[in-house]
Amino acid sequence: MKLTRMLAPLFIGVLTLAGCSSADNTTSSSEAASTTVDGNNITVVASTQVWADVAKEVSPDIDATAIINGDETDPHSFEPTAADMAKAKAADIIVVGGGGYDAWLYTAVDQDKIIHALPLTTHDHDHGHDHGEEGHDHDHDHGEEGHDHDHDHGDKDHDHDHGAAESESAEAHEHEHGEEGHDHDHAHGEEGHHHDHDAEANEHIWYDIDAVDAVAEQIAQRVAELDPKATINAGAVADKLAPIHETLKDLPAITVAQTEPIADYIIEQTPMKEATPSGYRHATLNESEPSAADVAAFLKALDDGSIDLLIYNPQTATETTKKLREEAEKHNIPVVEISETPAKDQNFFTFYADEVDNLAAAAKALNK
């Protein structure tokens, strides 16, 4: 891993030798106009606006669109139209999160076109059913608290091994998250924070800063292959995410629970402790309904002061999650909303920053 990351500067150099006019690794406007494949702009279709915005940040001259644009749809249960799939099949590049989250897209297109953060596993996203052994391919062993990331949330930062994202990128993902900030000529040292996100990883991978950076590197490589004269600046994504990382690592060590495991990767980047009752957490990670006993345990934790803050996903709200929110509010426990996708026409980077700012404000208010 270290050897591949040491190759990052070489990779970026190759991308920017042609027409580099400034230190930001971009080409001139005349060269940008030549970002074409057979005379047309490179087309990118992403499963959600998250990945479309990442692609646009890497290469602003490409034509990047998202199949899911907005926050009124639950992506777990989304079904694309024939027109959606026709657009995807005609695209030059497909960008997805993987891990089963957007399998409705990546199982139906040319695999060679796909850029992904997690392995391209498949499973049935059917809320409200217990998938059992043959259903959901997402059965995690998350330890006593249901969280299988063996990590220390102290001052040391973390090294994410994302499998697909890092192995299929140009291996040019050198992050250094020292105390002086988030330097995106990165290098996760041996003392860093290692998460091995395999096929069973939490699928809300766009909240993992390292994984998003790795996807950006993959996009940069693929665009360069399609058009060596293209405007490419993979570092622009790292620059957008750096302030978010700084905010997260400075959050207080409070105890949080989630109505759905939407914010695992956010929590991993903070000193906060994830304390969702294990039975409830296991059920929601498997996208099945928590049992009455699981819900009762969650309500008890809200009642007895075990939880400082509740993270609520409004995009996958159910009667159960609404009940948990009401219980938290009854006990004056702050509730912070974290959604699956940006609102319609909202940029992902603004969306992510806003959510983290809201989380920081609530957490720091508790810590006064």
Whether residues 217 and 330 share a domain: the answer is no
Tell me what pLDDT residue 138 has. 38
Whether residues 215 and 95 share a domain: the answer is yes
Tell me what pLDDT residue 345 has. 87
User: Total structural domains in the chain?
Assistant: 2
Whether residues 206 and 278 share a domain: the answer is no
Q: Outline where the chain has alpha helix (H).
A: 2-6, 8-16, 29-32, 49-58, 82-90, 103-106, 164-168, 209-226, 235-249, 264-268, 278-285, 292-303, 319-330, 348-366
Whether residues 246 and 362 share a domain: the answer is yes
pLDDT string in tens for the chain (368-residue length): 333 333 344 334 433 433 433 334 433 333 433 445 555 789 999 999 999 999 999 999 899 999 999 998 888 889 999 999 999 999 999 999 999 999 999 999 999 999 999 999 986 544 443 433 333 343 434 333 334 434 343 444 444 444 444 444 333 333 333 333 344 443 333 333 334 433 346 999 999 999 999 999 999 999 999 999 999 999 999 999 999 999 999 999 999 999 999 999 999 999 999 999 999 999 999 888 999 999 999 999 999 999 999 999 999 999 999 999 999 999 999 999 999 999 998 999 999 999 999 999 999 999 76
Whether residues 268 and 307 share a domain: the answer is yes
| 135: in domain | no
Residue that finishes a domain, picked among 218, 241, 264: 241
CATH number at residue 323: 3.40.50.1980
Whether residues 214 and 94 share a domain: the answer is yes
Q: Which residue has the tokens 């900030």?
A: 181
Whether residues 218 and 86 share a domain: the answer is yes
| 279: in domain | yes
Whether residues 316 and 341 share a domain: the answer is yes
Q: Tokens for 193?
A: 């924070």
- The answer to whether 367 and 343 have CB atoms below 8 angstroms apart is no
Read off the pTM: 0.73
List the domain range (segments joined by +) for residue 280: 242-366
